[in-house]
Amino acid sequence: MRARHRELHRSNRVGWLRAAVLGANDGIVSVAGLVVGVAASGASHNTVLLSGVAGLVAGAMSMAAGEYVSVQSQADTEKADLRQEKQELAEDPHTELAELAHIYVRRGLTPALAHQVAEQLTAHDALGAHARDELGITDTLRARPVQAAMASAAAFTVGALIPLAAVLLVPTKNVGVATIAVTLASLFVSGALAAYAGGAPLLRGALRVGFWGAMAMAASHLIGNLFDVRV
Q: What radius of gyration do the chain's Cα atoms show?
A: 25
The alpha carbon of 70 is separated from its chain's Cα centroid by a whole number of angstroms, namely 11
Report if pTM > 0.75.
no
Question: Model confidence at 224, in pLDDT bands (50, 70, 90)?
Answer: low
> Per-residue confidence at 8, pLDDT binned at 50, 70, 90?
very low
- The rounded distance, in Å, linking the Cα atoms of 12 and 15 is 7
d(CA 55, CA 61): 10
| Residue 26 pLDDT level (bands cut at 50, 70, 90) | confident
Average pLDDT estimate for 51-80: 90
| Range picked from 44-48, 80-84, 211-215 for highest mean pLDDT | 80-84
Least confident residue range of 71-80, 96-105, 116-125, 204-213: 204-213
What average pLDDT does the structure give for the chain? 82
Q: How many Cα atoms are found within 13 Å in the side-chain-facing hemisphere of 230? A: 1
48 conformational bin, left if phi > 0, alpha if psi -120 to 50, beta if neither: alpha
Give CA–CA dist 123/131, Å, rounded.
14
The pLDDT score that the predictor gives to residue 82 is 92
The pLDDT > 70 percentage for the chain reads: 86
Cα dihedral across residues 198, 204, 207, 213: positive or negative? negative
> Which of 66, 25, 3, 1 minimizes the C-alpha distance to 163?
25
Determine the distance from the C-alpha atom of residue 175 to the mean position of all C-alpha atoms in its chain, rounded to a whole number: 30
More reliable by pLDDT, 163 or 214: 163
pLDDT of residue 89: 93
Cα-Cα-Cα-Cα dihedral of 7, 13, 18, 20, to 10°?
-120
Q: Give residue 19's pLDDT.
A: 65
End-to-end CA gap in the chain = 75
pLDDT of residue 6: 57
Mean of the pLDDT values across residues 100-118? Answer: 94
Dihedral angle computed from the Cα positions of residues 128, 130, 133 and 137, in that order, rounded to the nearest 10 degrees: -60
Determine the angle formed by the axes of helices 175-198 and 145-169, rounding to 10 degrees.
Answer: 150
Q: Given this model, what pLDDT does residue 13 score?
A: 52
Give the residue from 165, 189, 183 showing the smallest Cα distance to 221: 183
Contact, 92 vs 147, CB < 8 A? no
